[in-house]
Structure 1
Amino acid sequence: MPSPVPVTRLLPKDIYPSLDFGTCSSPLAKYSLGTTLQVPVQRLHGKVGSRLWSTVIHWKELRSVQPVGSGGFGSVYRAEYLGDTVALKKVKKCTKNKLASRQSFWAELNAAHLRHGNVVRVIAATTCMPSDLGDEGSIGAILMEFVGDRNLHQMIYGCDELEDRWLRYATDIATGLRFLHSHSVVHLDIKPANVLVSSEDVCKIADFGCSLKLDLGCEVNSLSPSLSHVGGTYTHRAPELLKGERLSPKADIFSFGITLWQLITREQPYSGDRQYVLYAVVAHNLRPPVQEHPVFRSEQGGLCRTLLSRCWSGDVCCRPSAQELLPHLEQLTSQI
Structure 2
Amino acid sequence: MPSPIPVTRLLPREFYPSVNLGPCSSPLERPGKDWAVPAQGFKPRSVLKLWSCVINWPELQLLQPIGSGGFGSVYKGSYYGKTVAVKKVKKCTKNKLASKHSFWSELNAAHLKHDNIVRVVAATTCIPDNLENRDNIGTIIMEYTGTTTLQQLIYGSSEPLDMETRVKYCKDIAQGLHFLHSHCIAHLDLKPANVLLAGGDVCKIADFGCSQKLERCKGVRSASHRGCHLGGTYTHRAPELLRGETATLKADIYSFAITFWQLITGEQPYSGDRQPVLYAVVAYDLRPAVTGRVFNGSPVGHTCKAVLCMCWHKNPGERPSAKELIGQIEIVQDTLKTK
Q: TM-score, structure 2 length as denominator?
A: 0.82
2:58 aligned to which of 57, 60, 71:
60
CA distance 1:239–1:114, change in 2 (3 Å):
same
Query: Is this contact kept in 2: 1:222–1:245, CA < 8 A?
Result: yes
Q: Residue 6 of structure 1: CA displacement?
A: 7.7
CA distance 1:42–1:138, change in 2 (3 Å):
farther
CA distance 1:7–1:88, change in 2 (3 Å):
closer
Report what 1:76 is aligned to. Answer: 74
Query: Is this contact kept in 2: 1:24–1:55, CA < 8 A?
Result: no
Question: Within 2, Cα distance between the matches of 1:275 and 1:335?
Answer: 38
Q: Residue 220 of structure 1: CA displacement?
A: 3.4
Higher mean C-alpha displacement, 61-70 vs 76-85: 61-70
Q: Residue 132 of structure 1: CA displacement?
A: 5.4
Q: Residue 292 of structure 1: CA displacement?
A: 3.0
Report what 1:242 is aligned to. Answer: 242
Query: Is this contact kept in 1: 2:108–2:212, CA < 8 A?
Result: yes
Question: Within 2, Cα distance between the matches of 1:256 and 1:311?
Answer: 8
CA distance 1:103–1:299, change in 2 (3 Å):
same
Residue type of the alignment partner of 2:116: N
Question: Within 1, Cα distance between the matches of 2:62 and 2:247?
Answer: 41
CA distance 1:64–1:137, change in 2 (3 Å):
closer
Report what 1:28 is aligned to. Answer: none
Report what 1:43 is aligned to. Answer: 48
Q: Residue 54 of structure 1: CA displacement?
A: 3.3
Question: Within 2, Cα distance between the matches of 1:42 and 1:79?
Answer: 25
Question: Within 2, Cα distance between the matches of 1:153 and 1:124?
Answer: 27
Question: Within 1, Cα distance between the matches of 2:167 and 2:243?
Answer: 31
Query: Is this contact kept in 2: 1:296–1:302, CA < 8 A?
Result: yes
CA distance 1:42–1:183, change in 2 (3 Å):
farther
Report what 1:214 is aligned to. Answer: 214
1:102 aligned to which of 100, 103, 113:
100
Report what 2:135 is aligned to. Answer: 137
Question: Within 2, Cα distance between the matches of 1:96 and 1:330?
Answer: 45
Could you tell me which runs of 5 or more consecutive residues in structure 1 were left unpaired when the two chains were aligned.
Answer: 12-21, 26-39, 45-51
Query: Is this contact kept in 2: 1:222–1:246, CA < 8 A?
Result: yes
Query: Is this contact kept in 2: 1:147–1:196, CA < 8 A?
Result: yes
Question: Within 1, Cα distance between the matches of 2:294 and 2:167?
Answer: 18
Question: Within 2, Cα distance between the matches of 1:193 and 1:156?
Answer: 10
Report what 1:156 is aligned to. Answer: 154
Map 1:1-336 → 2, pairs under 5 A: 7=6, 23=27, 43=48, 54-130=52-128, 133-159=131-157, 160-163=159-162, 164-217=164-217, 218-222=222-226, 228-229=229-230, 231-336=231-336
Query: Is this contact kept in 1: 2:169–2:203, CA < 8 A?
Result: yes
Give aligned-pair identity as a percent: 55
The alignment of Structure 1 onto Structure 2 pairs a total of residues equal to 300
Residue type of the alignment partner of 1:144: M
Q: Residue 199 of structure 1: CA displacement?
A: 2.2
Q: Residue 134 of structure 1: CA displacement?
A: 4.5
Question: Within 1, Cα distance between the matches of 2:78 and 2:3?
Answer: 28
CA distance 1:41–1:308, change in 2 (3 Å):
farther
Could you tell me which runs of 5 or more consecutive residues in structure 2 were left unpaired when the two chains were aligned.
Answer: 11-25, 30-44
Query: Is this contact kept in 2: 1:186–1:211, CA < 8 A?
Result: yes
SS of the counterpart of 1:246? coil
CA distance 1:169–1:127, change in 2 (3 Å):
same
Q: Residue 156 of structure 1: CA displacement?
A: 0.6
Structure with more strand by fraction = 1
C-alpha distance after superposition, 1:203-250 (max 9, x if no partner): 000000000001123223425xxx533x11000000000001122100
Q: CA RMSD in A?
A: 2.7
Q: Residue 129 of structure 1: CA displacement?
A: 2.1
Report what 2:36 is aligned to. Answer: none
SS of the counterpart of 1:114? coil
Question: Within 2, Cα distance between the matches of 1:147 and 1:85?
Answer: 9
Question: Within 1, Cα distance between the matches of 2:179 and 2:212?
Answer: 14
CA distance 1:296–1:125, change in 2 (3 Å):
farther
Larger radius of gyration: 2
Residue type of the alignment partner of 1:303: T
Q: Residue 121 of structure 1: CA displacement?
A: 0.3
